[in-house]
Amino acid sequence: MSTTTTTTVTINNDVINKLKESLLDVNQPIAKRFRALFTLRNLNCIESINAMTEALSDKSALLRHEIAYCLGQMENEHALKVLVSLVENTQEHPMVRHEAAEALGAIGSQLALDTLKVYSKDTVPEVSETCQLALSRVEWYTINDPESIESKVYLSVDPAPSLNKSVPFEEVRKQFLNRDLDIFNRYRALFSLRDMGDEKSVLALCESFLEPSSSLLKHEVAFVLGQIQHKSAIEPLKKVLLDENENAMVRHEAAEALGAIASTETVPLLEQLVKDKEPIVSESCLIALDVTDYFNNTEEFQYADGIKILLEKNLIEKQQQQQQQENK
């Protein structure tokens, strides 16, 4: 007979400092550094934001981009200054600048609008399209109420709201695949298909991989396929990951989506591409292998990530409390 031991975890500066030390340690495996980053994100306090931003000087574009993503998911205005500086730094990797712009949209502060307007005309498509998307998101939520946590299928802060749940599947699919629509409205349909989450919706999302659509759209498709975790996405994602002519940010999301689906059949491919010549892809495969192992290793789940589960629970409770206060 097994027994369960409940441990009370106190979050203090010592915890944050240890996580920061792990995040900043370039001699640590990238997957371990990512785990430290995600835990700092879930703490969602000024101290954890400061710890995360210290790692923005790291040579890994993948890590820098993930930090920007996490700062957006935290929706904390304390991160605005550093995110604005990332968007404005034209020497920074486009994937990092894109993620910083998306994070500004997620935070939704009016203080970031000038930067987003200026760089909505950036010469790098992934940056300009993201700034346009972020501006549309801020505008949307200026006149529309935010979706309640209770009604959300996923807890992520998305770049665009889903369409009304009453819109039929075929209309959603048609809107998603309509290349004449602006990126914001295609994204709305994209997240509606994600929320449906069945096989036909997954296959509709995968159709975008076959068209010469924007890298920004395709990378988001790969991301949501990782959220859905439907095995019918495995083969399309494998093709994207193997395509060396595809944008690195798309291949990166395909790799991590395969990791999230956590099918052991993808392990040989991920292990092969750990040696890919593109660092963003090779590091993403390392992350994907770690996530696959995480989901398939019960003992590790129980032992190593007890604090992560607790922090996720605390984050959800905090979001619910904030929503209740806003509704009063």
Q: Are 53 and 24 in contact (CB under 8 A)?
A: no
Residue with tokens 């696959």: 292
CB atoms within 10 A of CB 248: 21
Dig out the tokens for 170 from the structure.
């075929």
Look at residue 308 in the predicted model and tell me its pLDDT: 47
For helices 215-228 and 199-206, give the axis angle rounded to 10 degrees.
Answer: 160
Dig out the tokens for 92 from the structure.
């920074």
Indicate the helix (H) or strand (E) that contains 185. Answer: helix 183-196
Look at residue 328 in the predicted model and tell me its pLDDT: 52
Determine if the pTM surpasses 0.95: no
Each residue of 160-203: pLDDT tens digit? Answer: 999 999 999 999 999 999 999 999 999 999 999 999 999 999 99
Q: Fill in the DSSP letter of residue 144.
A: S
Instruction: List b or e across 98-130, with b for residues whose CB sees 16 or more CB atoms inside 10 angstroms.
Output: bbbbbbbbbbbbeebeebbeebbebeeebbbbb
Look at residue 164 in the predicted model and tell me its pLDDT: 94
252 assigned ligand-binding residue: yes
**How buried is residue 94: exposed, middle or buried, by Cβ count under 10 Å (0-12/13-18/19+)?**
buried
Look at residue 9 in the predicted model and tell me its pLDDT: 44
Report how far residue 321's alpha carbon sits from residue 315's, in angstroms, rounded to the nearest whole number. 10
Look at residue 152 in the predicted model and tell me its pLDDT: 85
Q: What is the DSSP string of 34-82?
A: HHHHHHHHHH-SHHHHHHHHGGGGSS-HHHHHHHHHHHHHHT-GGGHHH
Report how far residue 328's alpha carbon sits from residue 323's, in angstroms, rounded to the nearest whole number. 9
Q: What is the full per-residue pLDDT of the chain (328 aa) written as tens digits?
A: 333 333 344 567 889 999 999 999 999 999 999 999 999 999 999 999 999 999 999 999 999 999 999 999 999 999 999 999 999 999 999 999 999 999 999 999 999 999 999 999 999 999 999 999 999 999 999 999 887 777 788 989 999 999 999 999 999 999 999 999 999 999 999 999 999 999 999 999 999 999 887 899 999 999 999 999 999 999 999 999 999 999 999 999 999 999 999 999 999 999 999 999 999 999 999 999 999 998 888 544 433 343 444 444 444 445 555 555 555 5
Q: Fill in the DSSP letter of residue 198.
A: S
Each residue of 105-136: pLDDT tens digit? Answer: 999 999 999 999 999 999 999 999 999 999 99
Dig out the tokens for 118 from the structure.
């200026």
Look at residue 145 in the predicted model and tell me its pLDDT: 87
220 assigned ligand-binding residue: yes
219 assigned ligand-binding residue: yes
CB atoms within 10 A of CB 261: 23
Q: Are 222 and 257 in contact (CB under 8 A)?
A: yes
Conformation bin of residue 44: beta by default, left when phi > 0, alpha when psi is -120 to 50: left
Conformation bin of residue 278: beta by default, left when phi > 0, alpha when psi is -120 to 50: beta
Dig out the tokens for 7 from the structure.
């441990």
Domains defined for the chain, CATH in brackets = 11-146 (1.25.10.10)
65 assigned ligand-binding residue: yes
* Number of helices (H), then strands (E), in the chain: 18, 0
For residue 76, CA distances in Å to 44, 82, 317 come to 8, 12, 16
